[in-house]
Each structure stands twice: as C-alpha cells, then as structure tokens.
Structure 1
Amino acid sequence: MRTERNLTRLDRVFARLDREPERPAHLDVPRMSRHRVVLCGSTLAFYLAIVVAVLTTSWLVRFDWQVMFFRPYQQWPEIHAFLDYWVVLGQRGPTAVMVAAWLGWRSWRQHTLRPLLMFGAALLLLNATVGAAKIGMGRLGPHYATAIGSNEMWLGGDIFPSGHTANAVVTWGILAYMASTPRTRRYLSALSAVVSLSVGLTTVYLGTHWLSDVFLGWAAGLLILLALPWFEPLISRIEAAVLGLRDSWRARRAGTAALPGPVTAPVGVPAMVPQRPAAEESAPARETVGAARAGRPPAYLAPGPHTARSERTPVTPAGSRRPPHPDRVSRGTTSARPVAGG
C-alpha cells in the first residue's frame, strides 16, 4: 500500500514560492499619501526639536549625563556578551549584505530591479544625510566627554545622530517597505521597529552613544523611509533605462548569432555543398555562363578573329605543304572553269 509523505511547513513555504508569479502585475507600492506627508512633517519637527534641545543644553542633555553615570553595562553585566553581538544588527556592512542578498533574490524572482534600486537609494540617502549631520555637529561620545554637563558639540566627534540606530531603521525597514501586501508590510514594520529600538538602546547600554543620539537616529532613519515614495518615479525611469540597455544588448547578440560566417571544411574532408532544386539552377546558370563567354574569350582560343578550319592553311615548321597555285580555290567554293564532259 502506497502512502503519501506529509508536507512539512518548509515544504509548504517552498511550494508557495514556486506558485508565485514571475513578475506580479499588481504590487502594493507605497505612495506619498496625506497620512504619510503628515507623518513625515511630524518626524521632521521631532528631528529639529532634538537638535535644538541638544544645542541649547536643555534637560535632554542633563538626562544624557544621568544615564551615562548610571552605567547600564555595570548594572546588568550578564547580558553584555549577548548585546555585543546584537548590536551588529545596526552595523551597515553586515546588514547591507544580508538585506541585499534577500532583495536580489526577489529581483531575480520577479524580473524587476525595483527592490535593489530602492535599497540603493535608501542607503545613499542614509549616508548623505546622517553623514553630513555627524560631521557638521561633531559631537563627542560618552567615553570621550570633556566637561560634565556640556553638550560636547563641535569637538570633532561623529556620533550625533546614532549611525547604528538610523541604519537599523532603514535597513530593516526597507523590507517592510518592499512588502507586496499590506498585511506583510504591517508585520515587517512591527518587526523592524523592535529591532531598531533594541539596537539603539543597546548602544546606550554599551556607553557608545548618548540617549539623544539614539532619538535623533530614529528620526533620521524614519524620515528616509517616509520620503522613499517621492523617489519612485525616478527609480522607475532608471529601471526602464537599464532594462532597455539589456534588451538592446541581447538583440545585438542574437543578430550576431543569426549571421554566422562562412563554414570551412576541415583539411582532408570534402565540403558538403547543399543541392538546389533544378528549377532554381537552370535559367540563372545559363545566363551567367553566357555572360562570361560574351565578356571574355575562352583561354584555349588564340587572340584575334576566329576562322573556320576549312579557311585556314595548314602550317608546318617548314612552311605550307601545298605550294601556292593561282588556279586553286578554297574548298566549299564553286570553280570558275567549265567542267569538261565526255
């Protein structure tokens, strides 16, 4: 008796992937709706508020110092080893490789470059905005602070805003942004929020960032994710241009392959000449030979006017075998003398 194997959850996942269309016709692409514009404006206001609070050495700076003197890594040393590895989820290099591998597979599966292009645009915006803010404000971290209670601004540092936090928001948030259904986007948004919050708090635990650095990093990463729909038209044009170049290159390769050069037979092997039908060869072949005869005399004929054999006098090395005779006429002509009878 034959029994069928029960499908595991992994088998069902792969079966679902196999049934997925190669290029979905209707993707739920995020748009710059009014709700998103309001969120973007609120996040920008929060970003500016954090910057102003730090520049004016407000209560936020004092709270930064209180957290630093609390030294969380000394209060809970048992989780220090785990959080040393967990903070890697905010480092740009390893996370970019992992997310790019997943989005690259999605691009290959769906025959579209949009996932990779959107991820590249998000990383470019992240490096430009966060890097410029870090260099421009130059804040020192807790381990390098010079004066208790100061905001440590414009002293050559590069920690404000937190790069680990902003990178975690953008890198893991782009997975939610690229989700194909609203339900999947909600789940991935919640997951990326948890990861980015935990990575930001981990940097505070390790003493590498002020708490205000983490707040500004969250705002900086969220601003990039909220602004991505504005770049969708540009990404579509770039994708169309790249795919057009690919199609033209394939067309050139196909045209070159369709016109092969002359085939030469190997040495010692007679070349196989394809036979044409007799109806094809008859008329053109005779015309070609006739044209060749009219244009150039055959090689075996002597140059000059060609005469019949009966009109030519046999020639020997010693001269003609017939002596000249005035009454001799050529063969084929009628004699002028009367024929005697009798």
Structure 2
Amino acid sequence: MRTDDKLDQMEERPADRARPPLMTRTRLWLFGGTLAVYAAIVVGVLTTSWLVTFDWQVMFFRPYKQWPEIHAFLDYFVVLGQRGPTAVAVAAWLGWRCWRQHNLHPLLVLGASLLLLNITVGAAKLGMGRLGPHYATQVGSTEMWLGGDIFPSGHTANAVVTWGVLAYLATTPLRRRTLSVIAALGALGVGMTTVYLGTHWVSDVLLGWAAGLLVMLSLPWLEPGITWVEDRLMGMLLRLWLRLRPDSLRGPLPADALAPGVSRQRIAPDGEVLVRETIGAGRVAATRAPDGWPHHPPRPHTSRSERSPVTPAGSRRPPHADRAARSTPLSPTSGRGRNGSG
C-alpha cells in the first residue's frame, strides 16, 4: 500500500460512523426531570422519610433467603455491573469499531462517560458516606456519614452507562432503540440483584439509576471536547506514521537523489560483464517494492513509428571459441564431422 493510500485511509470518515443524538428539547426535559428525581431521593434519605423505612423492610425480608435457588446465578449476573470486566468487554468491542472506522470516537466516548461517572458517583459516595445493609449500626437510621461508600449504587450506575454507551453509539434509530431497551433491562436486573444479595439499600439502587442516566443524558455536551481530543490524537498518529512508515511506502526517489556518474553493471556467473550503464543526473534508479520485484518510475510511452529502427545484427549470444559464427558458412567437411559421418 502506498503512502498516499494509507494517509487517505487514516483520514477517512466513513458514512456509517455513529452520529449521537443532539441535546434536543426532549433530552433537556429528561435531564431536568432526572436531576429532580436525584435530588428528591437524596432529600428523602437525609430526612428519614418513608424511603428509609422501606429500605429497612426489604433488608429484614432478606430476599437471598427467600429464593436461595437463584443465588448462584445472580452471583455471576451481578458482574454485568462491575466496572472492570464490563469496561474491558465494551472497550474491546469499541476498539474493533475504531479499527474498522479509522477513528477514535467510540473509545473516546466510552472513556469520557466512565470518567464523568467516576467523578460524579465517586464524589457522592465519599461525600455522604452511607453504610450498607450488612454493616448497619442502628435500626431505622439513615446510616449516613459513617464512612461507607454505597450511596448511590456504583454497580447500577455503571451498568446504565457502560451498556448505554453501546446504544448511544448505534448507527441507526432501530439499533439505538433496541440497545436502549436491552441496556435498561440489564441495568434494572443488576440493581435488583444487589438488593437481593443484600449489598445495597433500595434507595441506593434508585439513586444509581438516576446517576447513570444523568451521565448518559449529558454526553452530547461532551461531544465538542471529544471531537477536539480526537482531532489532536489523529494528528499525532498521522505524524507518527509518517515518521515510522517503512521505506517501501515512501515512493520513488527524487530525480536528483543519485549523483551524476554513478555506475551499475550486471555480471554473469562466469564473471563476464553483460550490461554496464551510467546513471546521470535526472535518471532514477529502480526501487524495490514490498513483493521483492523492482519498481521502475513511469516513462513516456512512444509509438512504434517513433522508435528507432532495429537492424539485423546477427545472434546476441556471446561468441564461443569452439563455435563458428552464423554469418560464416559452414564447410562440407565440418558439417559431416558434426553429423558423425565422414
């Protein structure tokens, strides 16, 4: 592949590149409504409302003891909300898409969403410091500011964002709607699984859903920054490719690359010089293509009438001492001797 073809391929923006939805009026209303729900959940827990009472009722119910037959399955299912395994799986898929589309947009969207998720959810966890059901200290209390880190639920928020990015980057409306439903059901299942296992309160899961949805709804605001970073990284990759590309992709040498008077010759196995020519200024030596065959620069094509006439000059084979030239007629004696009769 030549250098120009490689550069065109790296600068290509295919038609099937995902176009994320813009921040429309509907999305603004959803963002505002979700933010209001987020604040209402936090206020409900801080004021020890009915939400905290419901948390304790579910905890005393102990779902993992009510349905122990599904405990083993849910232990594996909850991994779909764990940050490490899910991020690696989705990053591998989006990395393949980056390779096919020749751009870094899918991976940058995933990185930006996870960064925003870790900042917002991590700050809320550390700021409120709520303890989980297994570490509760007083029945009916909110368990806030006691050094915990489970409010909001990180598993639930991560499931919303990680699998929601696939729907966000979908290339058609049908795929986006289908993946959105699948991501929502997966996040719902992960959140309910954490309640079943007793690792989170119900209010933790509700706040985790709201936190993940806020991150997804705010992604269009991050698109200008993602595009800026992508352009800079693609420029760095192009410069690195131009610097490290192999010599076989650099094309033919310039006309003045060889000094006048440089000679080259072709020598037969017996040491005889068959061809000798001098490459002067303006003549380009043949380069070596990746397949090993010499690549000659293009030359002007001349018609047959413009070519110099060829005159018969006899055989082009080098003369042998024991063979007479064809231009010399053979004597009858030598002919009989060659045929073995005499």
Compute the TM-score of the two structures, normalised by the length of structure 1. 0.70
For the residues of structure 1 that align with 2:131 and 2:242, how far apart are their CA atoms? 57
Cα distance change on mapping 1:255 and 1:201 into 2, 3 Å? closer
Mean alpha-carbon deviation: is it higher for 138-147 or for 251-260? 251-260
**Is it true that 1:174 corresponds to 2:174 in the alignment?**
no
Quote how far apart the aligned CAs of 1:273 are.
Answer: 8.1
For the residues of structure 2 that align with 1:151 and 1:243, how far apart are their CA atoms? 49
Q: Alpha-carbon deviations, 1:35-85, whole Å to 9, x = none?
A: 001000100000000000000010000000000001101111111111011
Quote how far apart the aligned CAs of 1:101 are.
Answer: 0.5
Q: Alpha-carbon deviations, 1:302-333, whole Å to 9, x = none?
A: xxxxxxxxxxxxxxxxxxxxxxxxxxxxxxxx
Match of 1:99 in 2: 90
Quote how far apart the aligned CAs of 1:112 are.
Answer: 1.3
Match of 1:71 in 2: 62
- Residue number among 122, 125, 139 corresponding to 1:134 in the alignment: 125
Quote how far apart the aligned CAs of 1:256 are.
Answer: 7.3
Instruction: Specify the code of the residue in structure 2 equivalent to 1:175.
Output: L
**Is it true that 1:186 corresponds to 2:177 in the alignment?**
yes
**Is it true that 1:275 corresponds to 2:278 in the alignment?**
yes
Match of 2:226 in 1: 235
Instruction: Specify the code of the residue in structure 2 equivalent to 1:109.
Output: R
8 Å CA contact retained: 2:258, 2:280: no
Quote how far apart the aligned CAs of 1:25 are.
Answer: 5.7
**Is it true that 1:251 corresponds to 2:254 in the alignment?**
no
Quote how far apart the aligned CAs of 1:276 are.
Answer: 3.5
- Report the number of matched residues: 256
Cα distance change on mapping 1:276 and 1:202 into 2, 3 Å? closer
Match of 1:321 in 2: none
Match of 2:107 in 1: 116
Flag structure 1 segments of 5+ consecutive residues without an equivalent. 1-20, 281-342
Aligned partner of residue 252 in structure 1, secondary structure: helix
For the residues of structure 2 that align with 1:25 and 1:186, how far apart are their CA atoms? 17
Counting aligned pairs with the same residue, the percent is: 65
Quote how far apart the aligned CAs of 1:213 are.
Answer: 0.1
For the residues of structure 1 that align with 2:57 and 2:258, how far apart are their CA atoms? 81
Aligned partner of residue 275 in structure 1, secondary structure: strand
RMSD over equivalenced CA pairs, Å? 2.9
Cα distance change on mapping 1:279 and 1:140 into 2, 3 Å? closer
Structure having the larger proportion of residues in strand: 2
Aligned partner of residue 108 in structure 2, secondary structure: helix
For the residues of structure 2 that align with 1:248 and 1:218, how far apart are their CA atoms? 43
Quote how far apart the aligned CAs of 1:278 are.
Answer: 11
Quote how far apart the aligned CAs of 1:26 are.
Answer: 6.2
8 Å CA contact retained: 1:140, 1:155: yes
**Equivalences for 1:307-322 in 2 at 5 Å?**
none
Compute the TM-score of the two structures, normalised by the length of structure 2. 0.70
- Residue number among 80, 83, 106 corresponding to 1:89 in the alignment: 80
Match of 1:202 in 2: 193
Match of 1:145 in 2: 136
Cα distance change on mapping 1:192 and 1:73 into 2, 3 Å? same
Flag structure 2 segments of 5+ consecutive residues without an equivalent. 1-11, 265-270, 284-342
Structure having the larger proportion of residues in helix: 1
Instruction: Specify the code of the residue in structure 1 equivalent to 2:278.
Output: Q
Cα distance change on mapping 1:178 and 1:261 into 2, 3 Å? farther
Quote how far apart the aligned CAs of 1:246 are.
Answer: 1.5
Instruction: Specify the code of the residue in structure 2 equivalent to 1:221.
Output: G
